[in-house]
Amino acid sequence: MSNGNVPNTEKTPFLKKGGVASVISSLVCILGGLLIGFIVLLLISIFNKDMTVSDSLKGIVTVLGGPFSAGSSQNILFQFGNMLFNATPLIMTGLSVAIAFKTGLFNIGAPGQYLMGAMGSLIVALSIPTSAVPAWIVWILAFLAGTALGVLWGMIPGFFKAKFNVNEVIVCIMTNWIAANVVSWVFKATGDTFVNIAETKVNFIRKTITNGVKTPTLGLDKLFNSSYLDISIMIATAIAVILYVVMNKTTFGYELKACGFNKNASKYAGMNEKRNIVLSMAIAGGLAACGAALWCLNGSQDFKWETYSSLPSVGFNGIPAALLASNNPIGVIFSAIFLKFIDVGGSNLSAQTSFNEYVSPLIVAVIIYFSGFSKFIKDMLSKNRVKKNVSLIPDEDKVPDEAKNTEGGSKA
């Protein structure tokens, strides 16, 4: 800001800058969400005889602390590690939704794509014996297989949209439930091949570690007190960065975004908008599935194979993750971690007080609700600035000290 070469008069006021306004409006949303969450806790504590007002204060602090409200430093480390691990699939589904949004498509099909990714990666990881093929090759094959299945699954809505002009939302919803049943069917049909029968819990697929397949941890699990953390968070981060570059610095990304801004205009400009729709959905599907693969290939996770009655929430939560980040791939990393942070805070709240963990989705929901107002808030900011510009900007940059003093004097 203290650049002497730029003439002061041409400077954009700090609060009027697009980026700054975005950050401020996001902060307002987050504060609003926390405030509402606190009010809810406060109301409950007032109406509940067993609680006092100080309980609600302690409650909101616990939620805000996320993993840091876990108590002992060992627990904090453990929860922090798991938080990052669990944020990984959320980053991926968030990216999936965000990329589709950029192309003007609402990918509500991330749960189905996620399930297909999980199925693909688990089947490959468990059926190729690591005695014959090195484990790391199996890992890569499993990862690719899961992602490829997701790409195919994501292409279905894209294809329907491009070819038959069917609203992608309806196809996504249909493919979600089809995926949920296909996955259950496949694992039911294959019987003991993949289902964990060694332990008593037969609802789950064998952990991939039983075949020696697991994501390298580089000691991260040790660092965070034997949590599940592995390098998948780094892979997800790298993918997000790559996506950011692709979307913002390449012709392909430009075409996708153009298609999202105005389909007809992009068609007029000679872009193949149908191909772009299919490609965008394929990428979105691949990303969601890749999240599932990263989660499953950790090696120590239990995948519940009877998926037909409900869809994985991590798929739907990709929507808030994308919305909170305004569909910016880099932003999704932070929004996903933030969502998990609040989540962990909620479970600590549930463990430590008589409140329960559902306050964290409540806070997140309110934050997203407010985030819809971001345009409104930004408008408010810029309107205020227009009025104050007259007095504020010269005040900071040009007006000599005497003038400031007289202004202050006149007020007093």
Judged by the rule CB under 8 A, the positions of this chain that interact with another protein are 40, 44, 48, 106, 108, 160, 164-167, 169-171, 173-178, 181-182, 184-185, 188-189, 308-311, 316, 319-320, 323, 354-356, 358-359, 361-362, 364-366, 368-369, 371-373, 375-376
Tell me whether residue 375 or residue 387 sits nearer to another protein (CB atom).
375
Tell me whether residue 186 or residue 218 sits nearer to another protein (CB atom).
186
User: To the nearest whole angstrom, how small is the minimum distance from the Cβ of residue 177 to another protein?
Assistant: 5
User: To the nearest whole angstrom, how small is the minimum distance from the Cβ of residue 366 to another protein?
Assistant: 7
User: To the nearest whole angstrom, how small is the minimum distance from the Cβ of residue 5 to another protein?
Assistant: 40
User: To the nearest whole angstrom, how small is the minimum distance from the Cβ of residue 371 to another protein?
Assistant: 6
Tell me whether residue 47 or residue 270 sits nearer to another protein (CB atom).
47
User: To the nearest whole angstrom, how small is the minimum distance from the Cβ of residue 259 to another protein?
Assistant: 17
User: To the nearest whole angstrom, how small is the minimum distance from the Cβ of residue 223 to another protein?
Assistant: 33
Strand bridging mode 303-304 / 204-205? antiparallel
Tell me whether residue 248 or residue 310 sits nearer to another protein (CB atom).
310
User: To the nearest whole angstrom, how small is the minimum distance from the Cβ of residue 186 to another protein?
Assistant: 9
Tell me whether residue 76 or residue 115 sits nearer to another protein (CB atom).
115
Nearest alpha-carbon partner for 368 in 185, 175, 94, 21: 94
Q: At what angle do helices 313-324 and 73-102 cross, to 10 degrees?
A: 80
Tell me whether residue 108 or residue 287 sits nearer to another protein (CB atom).
108
User: To the nearest whole angstrom, how small is the minimum distance from the Cβ of residue 370 to another protein?
Assistant: 8
Tell me whether residue 20 or residue 44 sits nearer to another protein (CB atom).
44
Nearest alpha-carbon partner for 299 in 217, 191, 222: 217
Nearest alpha-carbon partner for 173 in 132, 130, 113, 118: 113
Tell me whether residue 204 or residue 308 sits nearer to another protein (CB atom).
308
CA distance 156 to 263: 19
The residue with tokens 């998990």 is 340
Bridge partners, residue 195, by sequence:
205
Tell me whether residue 40 or residue 236 sits nearer to another protein (CB atom).
40
Tell me whether residue 354 or residue 406 sits nearer to another protein (CB atom).
354
User: To the nearest whole angstrom, how small is the minimum distance from the Cβ of residue 143 to another protein?
Assistant: 26
User: To the nearest whole angstrom, how small is the minimum distance from the Cβ of residue 269 to another protein?
Assistant: 23
**Residues 6+ positions from 318 with CB-CB distance below 8 Å:** 90, 92, 93, 94, 95, 96, 97, 107, 110, 288
